[in-house]
Amino acid sequence: MFRFSFCLFRFGKDIGETRWDYCLDKRVIENKSFELQASLFPAHAVLDFQVDLHWWGGDHAGPEIILHLMWFYLGIKLYDHRHWNYEEGRWYRDGEETWMLPDD
């Protein structure tokens, strides 16, 4: 597993809202999808660069590269659709996951 993050923060508060957003999400094999996202929106950083190369150990795990430069955001990810069973250290198998709603 490899993770790297570099960020140069700017002072002041964010202003504005998302101006443009594009997302491509394409299944490549049974449990994996490729995602490409490009957006224009205000950020708290002048530069934010992240690389995450983990393939397992969390929900929707997979390698990811993020570049956020002022208002421009670019994210590329190859991720797994499955959720991680933290108690047993493995992916949930089909039919194992149970979603419980809180009691009223």
pLDDT at 57 over 50: yes
User: What is the model's pLDDT at position 101?
Assistant: 43
Nearest to 38 by CA among 16, 20, 63: 20
pLDDT of residue 83 exceeding 70, the answer is yes
Q: Say if residue 88's pLDDT is above 90.
A: no
Supply the pLDDT for residue 15.
Answer: 61
pLDDT at 40 over 50: yes
Q: Given pLDDT bands bounded at 50, 70 and 90, which one contains residue 25?
A: very high
With beta carbons less than 8 A apart as the criterion, state whether 73 and 38 touch. yes
- Predicted confidence at residue 100, as pLDDT, reads 46
Q: Which element (helix H / strand E) includes 35?
A: strand 32-40
pLDDT at 24 over 90: yes
Mean of pLDDT values over 75-97: 86
Q: What percent of the chain has pLDDT over 70?
A: 87
